[in-house]
Chain A
């Protein structure tokens, strides 16, 4: 996005400090600078859980950092470096079962992607002081433009979007704090709100059918 599109949003440094993570509230919209770690792969997250459970070190340190459910196309450059051609979020709920272990073991301060995480993850996040950042799906042109440099790519045996990638970003966002470190989840709140509204919604449909002669 252009600089004017970024006006008025708080910018936070990644990896987030525990204090910054706890300062955020569900519904806040922020920009982030600094280093993030991303993957869109279930096998990747399974490998990281195995590291946590077996006590092996992951390919690079994750302690106090972020693990975001973002897929990317990374490739080697002619000068021996790495570049990312595009990057975008994937559905986080696919990782529900695995994330609490990673959030607790590595003391993550930020997770993210799109669609949110379940109650087990919300509880783990509350315990350690971690937030969920919701990215715009279909936002590849915006997210990709925020990449400054690729620091490291691990698990090259996996398909590109499954690899674990550490990269530097600037002005990534705006991102919505979907779940804060105090147990508040927009996704959970909205699901309950919709359930509560459903009797009235169905009653309105009945009224509308009657009015339409259906």
Chain B
């Protein structure tokens, strides 16, 4: 039984829908942990409100944020997956179907960048990145809707043979540019090297890693730890009104490159919208988050 157009369409729509109504478990754990470490009373109150909001969204089937963002998907196709139908069209059609049926309705956030007109449809929307997994017999779809707090403050700069000190200073520069405005505490993704597009992609992918997970590469694990301490020493705090909790996690990845080294830094706001599932060749759907 192959992986069909219908299955991809239905799952794409569901992943988007689910992402709007819950905060991932690892992220809620990160918020709970932060309440224990946060030294400022007002900041602890804001963190508690975040957990209350997340719980109320789940209990009452509400959106956590009114800005449902735009649909962003990362699709990984196993080379042993058997496909039946146009799965590219299925993702786009799934979003269209969701717009028609979702309750409460979505606000119109898909924006034509040339006119600033907003609607539910637009060129190249949904935004999909495609990847291939050698030997796998599944298709994995990760949905990560993007809005201001999870998109607006990202930045990239290209250096020549930078030291780690220069790279880390740049991360802090981007953190300062975002300041109080990206609905902290955020999840920060850093992508180093490769090329312009690859650095941005690995930074974005780094935000998808679970909060609390440890980077398997010791050099990166150490960098993540010290950058997290550095970001939280800035004092912007939850919702940027002061505190020790500006980020829940800093996740770093890299790709080898030429020596000109792009460094990309991006953020996900505290609700960290993210859902992920696999469609298997035998027709089963395996939901991870």
Contact = CB atoms under 8 A, between A and B. Distances in A.
Interface in A61-79: 71-73, 75
Contacts of A75: 105
A116 B223 contact: no
A159 interface: yes
A190 B64 CA distance: 27
A214 B223 contact: yes
A212 to B, nearest CB: 4
A1 interface: yes
A123 B236 CA distance: 22
Contact of A115 (B54, B108, B181): B181
Interface string B73-101: 00000000000000000000000000000
B226 interface: yes
Nearest to A85: B104
A107 interface: no
Nearest to B225: A208
Contacts of B33: none
A138 B50 contact: yes
A41 B182 CA distance: 18
In this complex, the interface size class of chain B, counting residues with CB under 8 Å from chain A, is 35 or more
A134 B181 CA distance: 11
A209 interface: yes
Interface stretch (A16-24, A48-56, A139-147, A149-157): A139-147
Contact of B235 (A193, A204, A209): A193
Given A88-B66, A191-B180, A136 B230 contact: no
A141 B57 CA distance: 6
B46 interface: yes
B233 A197 contact: yes
B49 interface: yes
A187 B222 contact: no
A1 B107 contact: no
Given A93-B181, A214-B223, A140 B64 contact: yes
Interface in A181-214: 186-187, 190-191, 193-195, 197-198, 200-202, 204-206, 208-209, 212, 214
Given A29-B42, A114-B239, A137 B52 contact: no
B68 to A, nearest CB: 10
A140 B57 contact: yes
B169 A176 contact: no
B24 to A, nearest CB: 13
Best-surrounded residue of A138, A144, A145, A159 (most CB of chain B within 10 A): A138
Interface string B46-67: 1011101110110010111111
Contacts of A191: 176, 179-180
Contact of B169 (A5, A73, A139, A202): A202
B217 to A, nearest CB: 12
A174 interface: yes
Nearest to A1: B52
B104 A86 contact: yes
Contacts of B169: 202, 205
Contacts of B270: 137-138
| Residue from A27, A72, A136 with most neighbouring chain B CB atoms (10 Å) | A136
B42 A176 contact: yes
A171 to B, nearest CB: 13
B82 to A, nearest CB: 39
Contacts of B229: 204, 208
A201 B246 CA distance: 14
A129 B152 CA distance: 31
A38 to B, nearest CB: 11
B65 A138 contact: yes
B269 interface: yes
B271 interface: yes
Interface string A1-27: 100010000000000000000000001
B287 interface: no
A101 interface: no
A186 B241 contact: yes
A142 B235 contact: no
Given A114-B239, A176-B239, A176-B241, A91 B148 contact: yes
A161 B241 contact: no
Given A176-B241, A190-B236, A91 B181 contact: yes
B206 interface: no
Q: Which 3 A-B pairs have the closest CB atoms?
A: A88-B66, A115-B181, A137-B183
12 contacts: A93-B181, A114-B181, A138-B64, A140-B63, A161-B107, A174-B49, A193-B235, A198-B234, A204-B230, A208-B226, A212-B222, A214-B164
